[in-house]
Amino acid sequence: MGKTQNWLCGECGEVFGKWSGKCPSCDAWNTIKEFHEARISTGKTKLSAGRDLGAAKNAVRKTEPQQRIATKIDEVDRVLGGGFFPGSMILFGGAPGIGKSTLALQIFLKFSEKTKTESEPTALYFSGEESVEQVLHRAERVTKKFGEKVNQIFSTSSLEDICETIAKNSPALAVIDSIQMVGTENSSFGQLSQLRENAEILLKLAKSTGTTILVIGHVTKNDEIAGPKILEHIVDVVLRLEGEGTNEVRVLSSPKNRFGSTLEVGVFEMRGSGLAELKNPSEFFLAERAENAAGSAIAVVREGSRNFLLEIQVLTVKTNFGQPRRTAHGIGLSKFHLLLAVVSKFTPFKCGEFDAYCSVVGGMKIKEPAADLAICAAILSSRAEKEISADTVILGEVGLSGEVRSVGNLEARLVEATKLGFKKAIIPRTRGKLKIPAGLETTEVKSVLELVKMVFKN
Ligand code: TYD
Ligand code: MG
């Protein structure tokens, strides 16, 4: 049977009938490469990648009413929206060394605790990167009760073998580490088109067996392998594990989730015994806070259904020559530029001739504008060399005319701050009646200029 010829964009993963220099879908240049559909057979099950997914659709309809299966790792379940859906395919991405294999193994170990008989494994683990001994060695660090799992761990890079084993056992969960390291017999590893083929084969397998397939995918720092991006289109759920190189906090998020929210995050700490859930992330983030340091402010940031207290640090120093330098970790650089401009324009503290560095302590990334005012306060505090009182949280979105706007879920955020012992809050002017938690003193500000007075009043 002849192969169908297609063209695949390495940037956005779109497939076309003919080649072109510029991708019609994402406008990237020179990213379109030839791509052949793959067909492989695994014993009784015939699986083919490509466009004909009619059979798979039927399978989806059949599995939909099924219940989610919780991983029993709370931070993972929260991000997933309660657990895995049977028959779904999950891509688990992240930079090398961040802890993907470790967390995937922990999920596998939790899952296989449910095994009733040895002949009916509930979870299988396939590693194309490590030998069974290496996986076991890792498992040994994570848990003591791994011995009987030996039969459920395989070291193979053959997609045929993996498919056959999954089709034969129909486990609830199969982990594949990593999609870049598995391939069919007659294909070369690591190629874009091959990644896509592999993913489509696995997706079909997941739908037809009802097995949840968790595939690990590497992302290089500068996204050199566009692979995971292509895969994101195919899979049901994308999980991402991130962290700053120098500290142990790891944040799990879900940029794509067909079955749940994409807003929730799970927070872990990398320890000698694997990834430990951080039940009280705010406490952890604030633990090393320097007392009475200028340039530090506390924001309350909402991620999904939880509120985190995060320390924002800003350092401003007079520029020696040329253009001022600006860097930002944990917030977007353009946001930092914008807030520096607002502070310069609407307060007496000009920043134009100052280098400015911003960092969110603990490696969390702030995506919402509710931390704007705290960032402005940290800038002001550093410029004025005057510390903000340590028991104060600062909340508010800042507009381009220096006005302070309201934030959502203000009351819940204040409750969280009170729980952690904060006594004062600077908040946006509110029209309606607010339920302020007992013991918290609030001050309303309506502009960044007012913030200057409030922050430094004591
Ligand atoms: P790993 O899961 O292999 O990363 P990935 O699969 O994303 O490439 O984790 C790599 C790092 O984690 C490695 O530097 C060692 C460290 N680690 C611990 O600190 N504690 C542990 O218990 C384990 C298993 C790994
Ligand atoms: Mg790994």
d(CA 431, CA 195): 54
Say if CB 162 and CB 185 are below 8 A apart. Answer: no
C-alpha to C-alpha distances, 30 to 37, 189, 420, nearest whole angstrom: 21, 21, 53
Looking at all shown ligands, the one closest to residue 180's CA atom is 2
In this prediction, residue 228 carries a pLDDT of: 66
Handedness of CA 134, 138, 144, 150 (dihedral sign): negative
pLDDT digits (tens, 9 = 90+) for 137-182: 888 888 876 666 678 899 998 999 999 999 998 899 999 998 888 8
Residue 365: name the closest of 231, 270, 240 by CA: 240
In this prediction, residue 381 carries a pLDDT of: 95
In this prediction, residue 147 carries a pLDDT of: 62
How many angstroms from the chain centroid is the CA of residue 92?
Answer: 9
How many angstroms from the chain centroid is the CA of residue 21?
Answer: 33
Residue nearest ligand 1's atom 2 by CA:
99
pLDDT digits (tens, 9 = 90+) for 226-261: 566 778 888 999 999 988 766 788 999 998 998 888
CATH topology of domain 67-279: Rossmann fold (3.40.50)
In this prediction, residue 431 carries a pLDDT of: 83
Question: Which residues does 359 contact at the CB level (< 8 Å), separation at least 6?
Answer: 312, 313, 314, 328, 329, 330
In this prediction, residue 119 carries a pLDDT of: 52
Say if CB 157 and CB 108 are below 8 A apart. Answer: no
**What residue ranges of the chain have pLDDT lower than 70?**
1-5, 13, 36-66, 114-121, 145-149, 186-191, 220-228, 245-246, 457-458
Residue nearest ligand 1's atom 14 by CA:
97
In this prediction, residue 57 carries a pLDDT of: 46
Distance 177 CA to ligand 1 centre (A): 13
Say if CB 258 and CB 207 are below 8 A apart. Answer: no
Q: Which CATH class is domain 284-455?
A: alpha beta
What residues line ligand 1, using a CB cutoff of 6 Å? 94, 96-102, 138, 141-142, 270, 272-274
In this prediction, residue 222 carries a pLDDT of: 56
Residue nearest ligand 1's atom 12 by CA:
99
C-alpha to C-alpha distances, 249 to 270, 278, 306, nearest whole angstrom: 6, 9, 17
Looking at all shown ligands, the one closest to residue 103's CA atom is 1
In this prediction, residue 50 carries a pLDDT of: 40
Which helix (H) or strand (E) covers residue 77, if one does? helix 74-80
- For a mutational test of ligand 1's pocket, the pick from 92, 100, 102, 180, i.e. the residue with the most ligand atoms closer than 8 A to its C-beta, is 102
Residue 280 has, within 13 A of its CA and on its CB side, a CA count of 8
Distance 244 CA to ligand 2 centre (A): 17
In this prediction, residue 20 carries a pLDDT of: 86
In this prediction, residue 407 carries a pLDDT of: 94
